Amino acid sequence: MPDLPKFDFHTRANVDRYLSNGPPAFTPGHAGLLQMAGVLLAERTPDEGRILVVGAGGGLETRYLATASKTWRFVGIDPSAAMLDLARETAGPAAGDRLELIQGVVADAPEGPFDAATCILVMGLVPDDGGKLDLLREVRRRLKPGAPFILVDQCLDPAAADRDLRLDRYAAYARASGVDPATVAGARAMMETGTTFVAPQRNEALLTEAGFETFELFYLAMAWRGWLAHA
Ligand SMILES: C[S@@+](CC[C@H](N)C(=O)[O-])C[C@H]1O[C@@H](n2cnc3c(N)ncnc32)[C@H](O)[C@@H]1O
């Protein structure tokens, strides 16, 4: 097999391609997903509300939300310095001084309490060895009672019988978006060997175990799922 480009969120060349070759090209209905997230958060987030953005690297969700509301404030957390730099470039003009970015994981975020939180396209990268549960618990305990939480994840159960078909669809969608075949092949290979993706039911069980009072599915696009949960 030829060497395939390995994607990581710390290599500047990858990060540079993130806005064009990242979520908008790989995640079906990405623009609508962000719009739905904004509408759902607005149901319970006050005008001056403070939102914790977990995995804020790249800045796409913060840019959208900072444009949708001119008064929400954002604390973004991400372990990748390169992705945080990109978030600053992407979301900075819309968010201005309403955006604080911190390098780290949720446990490194301020205690809050926050009025809302998001975790978009991040959970799939976190091992299910207690890491996913810890992440959700750390978000949950930083939220005010009843506050909304948007969780979006690619749910590729590694044990599913139709896993190869789902990976093929993932690749076909990205190619149809115009991503070059080598990049798509590398992304598919990463998914194939990735051991951190789980079935949707697993995320739902983890939301309950982490203490969220309610959750509902609001987004389903190929292997992606989005939930609105309340603390
Ligand atoms: C696919 S990107 C998604 C970024 C952004 N949320 C979006 O939707 O465009 C995944 C991001 O999650 C970050 N990440 C990985 N592990 C994380 C963790 N344990 N906690 C927070 N962020 C993490 C990566 O550094 C990367 O910036």
164-172 average pLDDT score: 95
Q: Report CA(181)–ligand 1 centroid distance (Å).
A: 24
pLDDT of residue 10: 73
Pocket-testing residue among 53, 125, 129, 133, ligand 1, by greatest number of atoms within 8 A of Cβ:
125
- Evaluate whether 187 touches 121 at the Cβ level (below 8 Å): no
Q: Report CA(75)–ligand 1 centroid distance (Å).
A: 14
pLDDT of 1 over the 80 cut: no
Q: Whose CA is nearest to atom 10 of ligand 1?
A: 122
What's the rounded Cα separation, in Å, for the pair 138 and 133?
A: 9
- Evaluate whether 47 touches 205 at the Cβ level (below 8 Å): no
- Evaluate whether 112 touches 52 at the Cβ level (below 8 Å): yes
C-beta 86 within 6 A of ligand 1: no
Q: Which atom of ligand 1 is nearest to the CA of 80?
A: 25
C-beta 34 within 6 A of ligand 1: no
Q: What domains are there in the chain, each with its CATH number?
A: 12-230 (3.40.50.150)
Identity of residue 192:
E
Confidence band, pLDDT 50/70/90 cuts, at residue 9: confident
Q: Report CA(208)–ligand 1 centroid distance (Å).
A: 22
Residue bearing tokens 């806005």: 19
pLDDT of 62 over the 80 cut: yes
pLDDT of 182 over the 70 cut: yes
Share of the chain above pLDDT 90, in %: 82
Main-chain phi, psi angles of 26, to 5 degrees: -100, -25
